[in-house]
Amino acid sequence: MCGIVGIIGSEFKVGDLIDGLKKLEYRGYDSAGVATVDGNGLYVSKSVGRIDALRGVVETEKAVHNGIAHTRWATHGVPSDRNAHPHTDCSGKIAVVHNGIIENYQELKKGLLERGHKFHSETDTEVISHLIEENFKGNLYQAVLETLKELRGAFAIVVIHSDIPDVMIGARKGSPLVFGCNEEKCMLASDVTPIIKYTRDVIFLEDGDVVYIQGNKARITDFSGNIVIRNRMHISWDENAAEKGGFKHFMLKEINEVPEAIESALVGRYDEKGFPVLHELDEFNLERVKRILLVACGTSYHAGLVFKYFAEKYLDIDVLIDVASEFRYRPIRITDDTLTVAISQSGETADTLESIRAIKKAGGKVIAITNVVGSTITRESDVTLFMNAGPEIGVAASKTYINQLIVLYTLALYMIKKLGKWNNIHDEISRQILNSSKIIKQIIQDPKIEQMADLYKNYNHFMYVGRGINTATAMEGALKLKEISYINAVAYAAGELKHGPIALLDPTFPVFAVVPKDSLYEKMRSNIEESKARNAKIITIATEGDKEIERISNNVIYIPQVSEDLYPLVIAPVIQLFAYYIANKRGYDPDKPRNLAKSVTVE
């Protein structure tokens, strides 16, 4: 996830581009850059660090007519001046800003290098400017269309060329791009926030759209050059709401970004047959792994627990997991056949980092799973699988948890394939993972989740239960609720209720049961019956079509049927939204829960 701004038309200042970027800071903030063109050439300035650092390296008062700007959230290449956008071609005339991931950039880069192109960055983006250079025969629009045919992955791009200073071209496939014009100027941006200063009538470009702007006139076509008609939308949000995409809080916005985040996590990770591809792990001899060790904290620990259940079921090897704050103080045994994985969305969690150091000291190699390129954990681990969720502003993990699950399922499937254990069950799981963004898009629109939060907002205790792989779901549900709504929420593997926690249950202590139709369904039902017999109110998350569950539930939220291994993935947004709505209805700010920080850098 990155932020793009482009302005073209009557005179404006370079500082206006940076003001636009500031509105997109939530999309990325590790480096930023700006490029402008006039009849004399292309001018590019970049700076690592937050957007304000860019003001120090550009002439903010300079008057221009055409410029693009970018704030980056690194995916390929560490945050640095070199890797900051815009990226240029060999002639130094073309500049490109890009949000998304070019899946086939390595093969494209190889060809471009063989044909003599010189690269200046480690990014996937730079291939685009060089390809446009190759395809440019005097018509920038045609050159962009030719280039788009060569790109695989998810992207939104904006392109300018110093030989044609009154033209700007944008295109989208999988990453957002919004377009708006007033009498004097046209704008392109990753969301409406930089645009509403100029106009409130915008077009949300659709996948496969290209917008060609000359001065303040524009046309939209598909990738083949056929004109397409898109409706304008009037934006009535105030600026503050617009920053949150019209949502009341970042957390709600970020849960709504899950489908886009999942697509980013999947780019380049499955081949056309649906087999997982993790080139990052080429140097690991996975065939000889007999034991997997996971360390993580909080929500990341719960993602690791899902992996444990999934991987143990199909890999026939032991998966051990511990919270990092405990792991690091215990004797650490690393054998040649141990694979160690550290999970941390921030990449800065002190306990996880110290565990990594301890593992390395004991002779282990660490695979990190994080969301932040350049974070300490990525630097100290041997290899990193990036989650590509984009920045998450809300303190409580939401889309990052879901992307952790995507990466962990993919890692497990990759090992299943490597270890020769792949069968048609895995074909189906892989197919459903590739389709999961669509399933989740539908789930997060279910109005019943908010209605249920309304019914239960005044309870001060909740018991979350699940079994098997959904024990982790119950634990994550309880953590989410307690951390943003300050309600006493406890979680147990449902079979444990009878060993003590059931004593807590009464009409004031609702049970939130995760009970999809899976192989433990009957057992879960018995546990729910036991709870009901103690007069506890029962909320269930169940599989569509399960009418039987209604008999023992006070309220049910249905989710679509998926492979039983994937319920943690599709239920995650439900538990997040339930916690979100309760916190909101109790008058708390879910984005900034008391006593908590986004990166826990203390032990």
**Residues taking part in catalysis:** 2, 598
Cβ(251)–Cβ(480) below 8 Å: no
Nearest approach, Cβ of 391 to ligand M6R (angstroms)? 13
Q: Which stretch binds ligand M6R (CB under 6 A): 73-81, 156-164, 341-349, 499-507?
A: 341-349
- The set of residues, in sequence order, having a beta carbon less than 8 Å from that of 471 and lying 6+ positions away, is 305, 309, 491, 492, 493, 494
**Interface of this chain with ligand M6R, residues 352 to 391, rule: CB under 6 A:** 352
Nearest approach, Cβ of 424 to ligand M6R (angstroms)? 34
Q: Which stretch binds ligand M6R (CB under 6 A): 179-187, 231-239, 345-353, 485-493?
A: 345-353
Q: Which stretch binds ligand M6R (CB under 6 A): 346-354, 462-470, 531-539, 578-586?
A: 346-354
- DSSP E strands: which ranges in 49-93? 63-72, 87-88
Q: Which is nearer to ligand M6R, 301 or 414 (CB)?
A: 301
**Interface of this chain with ligand M6R, residues 552 to 581, rule: CB under 6 A:** none
Closest CA to 367 of 386, 394, 348: 386
**Interface of this chain with ligand M6R, residues 461 to 500, rule: CB under 6 A:** 483
Q: Which is nearer to ligand M6R, 442 or 601 (CB)?
A: 601
End-to-end distance of the chain based on CA atoms, in angstroms? 30
Nearest approach, Cβ of 593 to ligand M6R (angstroms)? 8
Q: Binder to ligand M6R among 199, 344, 470, 485 (CB under 6 A)?
A: 344
Q: Which is nearer to ligand M6R, 28 or 298 (CB)?
A: 298
3-state SS, one letter per residue, for 149-194: HHCCEEEEEEEEECCCCCEEEEEEEECCCEEEECCCEEEEECCCCC
- DSSP secondary-structure letter at 589? -
Binding mask 287-306 for ligand M6R (x = CB under 6 A): ----------xxxx------
Residue 338 touches ligand M6R, criterion: CB under 6 A: no
Unique residue bearing structure tokens 């303040």? 216
Distance CA(305)–CA(261), nearest Å, equals 21
Total of residues contacting ligand M6R (CB under 6 A): 15
Q: Which stretch binds ligand M6R (CB under 6 A): 63-71, 124-132, 344-352, 570-578?
A: 344-352
Q: Binder to ligand M6R among 129, 190, 264, 345 (CB under 6 A)?
A: 345
Nearest approach, Cβ of 280 to ligand M6R (angstroms)? 19
Q: Which is nearer to ligand M6R, 44 or 478 (CB)?
A: 478
Distance CA(105)–CA(124), nearest Å, equals 5
Q: Binder to ligand M6R among 349, 437, 540, 553 (CB under 6 A)?
A: 349
Nearest approach, Cβ of 371 to ligand M6R (angstroms)? 8
Alpha carbon distances (Å) from 270 to 97, 265, 286, 414: 26, 10, 18, 9
Q: Which is nearer to ligand M6R, 178 or 251 (CB)?
A: 251
What phi and psi values does residue 87 have, to the nearest 5 degrees?
-110, 145
Residue 600 touches ligand M6R, criterion: CB under 6 A: yes
Chain center to CA of 377 = 18
**Interface of this chain with ligand M6R, residues 384 to 403, rule: CB under 6 A:** 396-397
Residue 239 CB burial class (10 angstroms; 0-12, 13-18, ≥19):
exposed
Nearest approach, Cβ of 169 to ligand M6R (angstroms)? 38
Closest CA to 25 of 74, 70, 77: 70
Q: Which is nearer to ligand M6R, 357 or 498 (CB)?
A: 357
Q: Which is nearer to ligand M6R, 70 or 328 (CB)?
A: 328
Alpha carbon distances (Å) from 304 to 48, 376, 414: 33, 20, 16
Q: Are strands 185-189 and 3-13 parallel, antiparallel or unpaired?
A: antiparallel
Distance CA(192)–CA(381), nearest Å, equals 38
Q: What would the two tokens of residue 404 be?
A: 């952790």
Residues in touch with ligand M6R (CB under 6 A): 297-300, 344-346, 349, 352, 396-397, 483, 596, 599-600
